A and B are shown apart, each in its own frame.
Chain A
Amino acid sequence: DTAVSQTPKYLVTQMGNDKSIKCEQNLGHDTMYWYKQDSKKFLKIMFSYNNKELIINETVPNRFSPKSPDKAHLNLHINSLELGDSAVYFCASSRGRAGGPSGTQYFGPGTRLLVL
């Protein structure tokens, strides 16, 4: 069974559209994350959710909104897509706080978003 899954794997869309990426983890972890990886391979955290509360919110545009219906899911909704949003988006989860002793993160396979 896949520990962290994301859908869709590929997403091609037009500028101005609204899209969502879904993430699910079956590890029973308390914290989930969204990362953006650009063409230069920089891996930047966007959001983190712990017990359904947002605990990290980097300086991302408010067009991006994380939604967590329950502890096992953290979806990413993007409004008014722009060309610069093209990237690979990774979901991850950890038992404890990332960067701490129980914070090993498990990543999903990524969603490759292309905005035309």
Chain B
Amino acid sequence: LAKTTQPISMDSYEGQEVNITCSHNNIATNDYITWYQQFPSQGPRFIIQGYKTKVTNEVASLFIPADRKSSTLSLPRVSLSDTAVYYCLVGAGSGNTGKLIFGQGTTLQVKP
């Protein structure tokens, strides 16, 4: 199973770039890496997904090294509203018997 590991918490200040790394040593060939954001009292929300190298969208970038055993979510110029829990999800295998593994989440606190 593709177990994932993330830092439990991080602090940052407004305007800084934040990088959150997730380790997934046992990622399978067919697995994609997906990051979600969760605010208090809400369900998780999709941020970004990638398979290899670099992916960028309007809110974040995702860096994946060649061995794909880790990934780094990059949030440029964070604001107070980016304070949330960030989860790394690795799809586990192909076919109907796969198991989904969420990381334990990283609580990001953005300070003014």
Residue of B nearest to A109 (CB): B43
Cross-chain contact of A41 among B41, B42, B45, B85 (Cβ < 8 A): B85
Cross-chain contact of A103 among B44, B45, B91, B105 (Cβ < 8 A): B91
Cross-chain contact of A99 among B32, B44, B97 (Cβ < 8 A): B32
Residues of B with C-beta under 8 A to A77:
none
A99 x B46 contact (CB < 8 A): no
Number of B residues, CB within 8 Å of A? 28
A64 at the B interface (CB under 8 A): no
A90 x B43 contact (CB < 8 A): yes
Cross-chain contact of B105 among A41, A53, A100 (Cβ < 8 A): A41
B43 x A103 contact (CB < 8 A): no
Cross-chain contact of B96 among A40, A55, A103, A107 (Cβ < 8 A): A55
B100 x A104 contact (CB < 8 A): no
* B binding-site residues for A, Cβ under 8 Å: 30-32, 34, 36, 41-46, 49, 51, 85, 87, 89-92, 96-100, 102, 104-105, 107
